[in-house]
Chains A and B, each alone.
Chain A
Amino acid sequence: MIGLTHFLILAAILFVCGLLTVLTKRHAIGILMGVELMLNAANINLVAFNHYSAGDRLDGQVFALFVIVIAAAEAAVALAIFLNFYNNFGSVDVERANELRG
């Protein structure tokens, strides 16, 4: 029988994969992929909690829906920024984005 614990552990592993991607990749778009993985892990948690313990409410699904919408918006803005960065520096290495350092 698959319980809530299974889904939570799966989401935890998925989240850690996303975190590891964010921590180790230097490619800006790779980091964006890691963020998407982390958001998906959070979404699995929301939907699983909704399925197993919310009774008649669907709040978890609604939250997950908003997360998906805002993730799409975030990806669009992030890619626009990366394109600008690439046009200016000819690279998408996040280590080179240090011109604003104080």
Chain B
Amino acid sequence: MQAILFYIFAALTLAGAIGVVASRNIVRAAVQLLLALLGVAALYFLLGAEFLAAVQLVIYVGGTLVLIIFGVMLTARASQKLLNPSRGEQIAGLVSAVVLLVALIASIVTTRFPDQPAPLGRYSLQALGQDLLGDYLLPFELASLLLLAVMIGAAYLAKKRPHAKGEV
């Protein structure tokens, strides 16, 4: 059962990812990215990380992806045709990507990894909360600081300035 679910979700994720690579239309690529992110969220469920799956759905699918689609719509006048890669760029990218993929898969296959999940003694959500406000309290607070800085910085950057062109 777990194997069937894994293959279904893996196929969903990879279909989305390959769609993002192959799509010539940026709006279609965004929709394919949605598919890939949903697949990853489902894989988190399979890996026993329910909270992370929910966070993935809320923040990635509900936040980041909506932001990206807004960005696509706000820059919609940009010509699509000019932005497609040339044949040479495609081949160079494909070659380096395949080389990296072969190297990664070779090193994964030749290493022995544990096949059985390690049993978790504690309830995962409770343990995650305790870790976040215990061992990881400082990074947790720093993340909130970062988000505040990003909020102010992004709002300032995206503000429309009347004479931006002359100042460049």
Contact = CB atoms under 8 A, between A and B. Distances in A.
B97 A23 contact: yes
Contacts of A50: 47, 49
Contacts of B3: 1-2
Interface in B57-87: 59-60, 63-64, 67-68, 70-72, 74-75, 77-79, 82-85
B40 A44 contact: yes
A52 B75 contact: no
Given A79-B71, A82-B75, 17 more contacts: A10-B14, A12-B108, A16-B104, A19-B100, A20-B21, A23-B92, A30-B20, A33-B30, A36-B68, A65-B55, A66-B139, A66-B143, A71-B64, A72-B59, A72-B64, A77-B150, A88-B168
Contact of A33 (B33, B49, B128): B33
A20 B93 contact: yes
Contacts of A37: 17, 20, 33, 36
24 contacts: A5-B108, A10-B10, A12-B101, A14-B13, A14-B36, A24-B21, A26-B82, A33-B29, A36-B33, A37-B36, A50-B49, A52-B114, A53-B114, A55-B120, A59-B131, A61-B128, A62-B131, A62-B136, A64-B52, A68-B59, A69-B59, A76-B67, A80-B153, A86-B78
A9 B14 contact: no
A65 B158 CA distance: 27
Contacts of A2: 2-3, 6, 46
Interface in B107-155: 108-109, 113-122, 124, 127-128, 131-132, 136, 139, 143, 146-147, 150-151, 153-155
A76 B128 CA distance: 26
Interface residues of A, number: 74
Interface in A70-88: 70-73, 75-77, 79-84, 86-88
Given A33-B20, A52-B118, A75 B52 contact: no
A80 B49 contact: no
Interface residues of B, number: 90
B109 A24 contact: no
B100 A56 contact: no
A85 B56 CA distance: 29
Interface string A46-59: 01101111111011
A48 B92 CA distance: 31
Contacts of B131: 58-59, 62
